[in-house]
Amino acid sequence: MLVHEDLCVGCGLCVKYCPVGAITIVDRKAHIDQDKCLECGTCGRQRIVKCPRGALYENPGVYTYPRSIRKFFSDPMAYHPETKVPGRGTEEVKTNDVTGRVKRGEYGIAIEMGRPTVGASYVDVEKMTMALSKFNIEYEAKNPVKTLFLDEKKGTLKEEAKQQSVISGIIEFTIPAEELEAVLETIMETAKTIDTVFSLDLICRFSDEDPYKMPEVPVLEKFGLAPRPNNKINLGMGRPLVEE
Amino acid sequence: MSHTLHRFGPEETFQNDFPFISRPAMKINSDGAAPKMRRVMEIALDHEPVNWGSLTTKQNLTMGFDREELLNKTEDNSPAMGCFDDRDKVVAVLKQLKEEDLGMSVVITGLRDKVEEMCHEAGLTPHSADLALGIFGATELLPEDETLCFTTMCGHAMLSAGLVRQIRKAVREGRMTPEEGAKILAKPCYCGIFNQTRAAMLLEQEKEANQKNEE
Ligand code: SF4
Ligand code: SF4
């Protein structure tokens, strides 16, 4: 975002709304640090931030590559040109009853780099994808991160992507159940080397034997992991229901 | 975007927190889905969600909501997104959706026992779970837990820690009611999954704890 300096009266109202602290008041004018700004769009939304002068406006270059990477991975209202899905990820568990993306005997993993609140540079995303390259991972085809690979097998990302930071970039893939332990070990080891946070998601099917019992994943204990008490459940209402 | 996952805070603060999402699967059952999605939204809105949002019309329930505009702009790939603060309302929505058999996928986020119980009551068999395993990496960069309880209610991280701290302080100091504070915090979340009832409760709890400390 940019500021019309001639309009801004330096009231400071917008400052607190920026999730990454990119706005400061300098010489009684709002100043947006263009390196820090992730182009999430929040400060420019008049229904949220009631700038008395309408002084905040979208940088016209924000949809031009590679700055557009910031926009598409930070502003949930920007539709990715490749996936036509707003936001940073995919339909994941939301439509798993219809897509069958994660089947019994498999786990879906999402590593949400930068989430919550901190943001991530694609240098950190690459650290994770390179570490995962020892596995034969097929990244989720509809996830926009897939478009940023230089060499998907090696896990390397395009140079221009690595110069960008975003609110979050989601590394998303499905693995056979027997690989879970080794993949989690790699994720946890890599966690020690990155300069941001990530949220870790695990998608699994409910069992046939007790359809109301939350799936149990014994291997998690080895890593001291316990799912939060609040989770996201697909209720199986989509049609046609995927048959396995 | 698993944006209703990873809501942070003590377990007891999720008793009345049920983000709701429904959507078609692109290219599988999305062709001609608009009337079905519209109906999903009508049913959900008839049962008074605490919040509701739309990335198409760029509005949520807390900023003055035009129900007809939202319904009329429903397209084949429009998701239905919002949040309920009452499990009985969710069960009523699910029963109605089941009866009308619209065939759109539905996910509910909530405490596992509660969601299981609600499925039972509505006669639904859950299909898959997305489990939140936690937050890792340079966790020293995170804001304090009390602030994370609010910021994580907007899964896209549009709600800044700075604004949360400012509102928490204003409520603690009696310059704003918890409800007023919750309404301000709900605005940046256009998806409408931010739960103002939970936010007001958290603000109230902090205010009371602060008053006790001062006594
Ligand atoms: S809200 Fe508007 S007038 Fe106030 S500091 Fe920000 S840009 Fe300037
Ligand atoms: S667009 Fe987002 S990241 Fe950039 S200054 Fe505005 S609020 Fe901050």
What are A1-15's pLDDT values in tens digits?
A: 999 999 999 999 999
CB contact under 8 A, A197 and B126: no
Q: What percent of chain A has pLDDT over 70?
A: 95
Domain extents in chain B? 11-121, 142-208
Residue A181 domain-assigned (yes or no): yes
CB contact under 8 A, B107 and A233: yes
Residue A116 domain-assigned (yes or no): yes
Examine the pLDDT at B32 and tell me if it is beyond 90.
Answer: yes
Q: What is the pLDDT of residue B55?
A: 80
Domain ranges, residue A34: 2-58
Same domain, A132 and A15: no
**Does the B11-121 domain belong in CATH 3.30.70?**
yes
Q: What is the dihedral of CA A50, A56, A62, A68, to 10 degrees?
A: -40
- Residue tagged 């221009």 (tokens): A160
A103: buried, middle or exposed (CB in 10 Å: 19+, 13-18, 0-12)? Answer: middle
Question: Would an 8 Å CB–CB cutoff place B6 in contact with chain A?
Answer: yes
CA–CA dist B90, A152 (Å, integer): 42
pTM given for the model: 0.95
- CATH number of the structural domain spanning residue A21: 3.30.70.20
Q: What is the pLDDT of residue A143?
A: 86
Same domain, A97 and A192: yes
* pLDDT per position as a tens digit, B151-177: 999 999 999 999 999 999 999 999 999
Same domain, A131 and A217: yes
Look at chain A and report how many structural domains it folds into: 2
CB B110 within 8 A of CB B84: no
Please, which residues have CB within 8 angstroms of residue B131's CB and are 6 or more apart in sequence? A201, A202, A203, A204, A215, A217, A227, A228, A231
Residue A92 domain-assigned (yes or no): yes
Same domain, A217 and A125: yes
Please, which residues have CB within 8 angstroms of residue B203's CB and are 6 or more apart in sequence? B167, B168, B171, B178, B181, B182
CB contact under 8 A, B141 and A205: no
* pLDDT per position as a tens digit, A162-190: 999 999 999 999 999 999 999 999 999 99
**ipTM tops 0.90:** yes
- CATH number of the structural domain spanning residue A147: 3.90.1170
List CB contacts (< 8 A) between B119 and chain A: 212, 233, 235
Residue A65 domain-assigned (yes or no): no
List CB contacts (< 8 A) between A47 and chain B: 58-59, 63, 187
Question: Distances in Å between the alpha carbon of A115 and those of A107, A157, A237, B42, B184?
Answer: 21, 20, 29, 32, 22
Residue A68 domain-assigned (yes or no): no
Atom of ligand 1 nearest to the CA of A13: 1
Same domain, A130 and A196: yes
